[in-house]
Chains A and B, each alone.
Chain A
Amino acid sequence: DAGVTQSPTHLIKTRGQHVTLRCSPISGHKSVSWYQQVLGQGPQFIFQYYEKEERGRGNFPDRFSARQFPNYSSELNVNALLLGDSALYLCASSLSGVSTYEQYFGPGTRLTVT
C-alpha cells in the first residue's frame, strides 16, 4: 500500500505570495494533521482534520488555513508568506481522530521563502 504522499516536494516562493500544499493519506485513514518543522526543531502542530472537520488548531496565525476533502486528502494554504514560514511541512495521517492511534508521516514539502 502507498504511504502518505505530499506534493510538491520542494517549493520556492517570494514574500507576500500564497502557497498551497497537498497531502493524500494512507488508504482508509480518515484523520490528517499538518506540522511545521523548522531546522533543528521538532515538528510543530498546525491543524488536525477528521471526517472533513477541523478538530484542532495550533498556535499559528490566521494566514494558515486548511481543509479536508471527501476523499480525505487535504490542503494546507498559507497566505502572505513571510521569511519565517520557510520550513519542512509534514502531513500525517491516522486511522481515526482518537489520540491512541499513531501517525504516519509523509516525506514533507520543503518550502523556501525568499
Chain B
Amino acid sequence: AQSVAQPEDQVNVAEGNPLTVKCTYSVSGNPYLFWYVQYPNRGLQFLLKYITGDNLVKGSYGFEAEFNKSQTSFHLKKPSALVSDSALYFCAVRDPNTNAGKSTFGDGTTLTVKP
C-alpha cells in the first residue's frame, strides 16, 4: 500500500526567507510524486511533479522539490517566500504498478508567511 506523511501540520516563515515543506512517502515500486497547493474554498492546484530523471524538479511560482530515494522524501522548497505563498500544501504519491488514477495524499501542511 502507498502512503504519504507530512510531518509538520504548520510551517511559519518570514517573507524573504527560504521555506521547506517536508514529505516522506512509502510505495512498493518507483514512485510518482506530486505537490499541490490549496487556497481557501478552492480546489487543489498542481505545482510540480517527479516522474524520473533529475532529482531536483522545478515547478510553478518559483517552487522546487528534491527527490531523495534513499530517504524516501520529496521536500518542497522555495528560496524566498512571499506572503502570497500562504496556503495549504499537499504531497501526493502514485504507484505506477497499481491503480493509475489513485493519488494518495498526505494530510497537508499549512504554510504561513509573515511580512
A97 to B100, CA, bound (A): 6
Chain A, Cβ-Cβ closest to B108: A42
Partner of B51 from the list A4, A100, A106 (CB cut-off 8 Å) is: A100
> Which residues from B are CB-within-8-Å of A48?
99-102
Which residues on the B side are within 8 Å of A92 (C-beta)? 43-44
* Total interface residues in chain B, CB < 8 Å: 27
CB-defined contacts of B85 to chain A, threshold 8 Å? none
Query: Are the C-beta atoms of A56 and B101 separated by less than 8 Å?
Result: yes
How many residues from A make CB contacts under 8 Å with B?
29
Given A55-B101, A56-B101, decide whether A40 and B46 contact each other with a Cβ distance below 8 A: no
Q: Are A106 and B104 in contact (CB under 8 A)?
A: no
**In the bound complex, what is the Cα–Cα distance between A90 and B100 (angstroms)?**
18
Q: Does B17 contact A (CB under 8 A)?
A: no
Identify the closest chain A residue to B99 (Cβ). A56
Contact with B41, one of A41, A94, A104, A107 (Cβ below 8 angstroms): A107
Knowing A42-B90, A55-B100, A56-B99, the reply to whether A103 touches B107 (Cβ < 8 A) is: no
Q: Which of B65-115 contact A (CB under 8 A)?
A: 90, 92, 94-96, 99-108
Q: Which residues of B contact A31 (CB under 8 A)?
A: 101
Within 8 Å CB of A103, what residues of B?
34, 44, 46, 103
Proximity bits, B27-60, A CB within 8 Å = 1, else 0: 0000010101000011111100101000000000
Residues of chain A within 8 A (CB-CB) of B49 are 100, 102
Check A42/B107 contact, CB under 8 A, given A58-B102, A98-B100: yes
Q: Which of B4, B46, B101 contacts A97 (CB 8 A)?
A: B101
Contacts of A40 in B (CB 8 A): 107
The one of A42, A56, A94, A100 that contacts B32, using a Cβ cutoff of 8 Å: A100
Whole-angstrom distance between the alpha carbons of A44 and B49 in the complex?
Answer: 19
Task: List 5 tightest A-B contacts by C-beta distance, closest first.
Answer: A48-B101, A42-B105, A105-B43, A56-B99, A99-B100
- Chain A residues within 8 Å of B, Cβ to Cβ: 4, 31, 33, 35, 40-45, 48, 50, 55-56, 58, 90, 92, 94, 97-100, 102-108
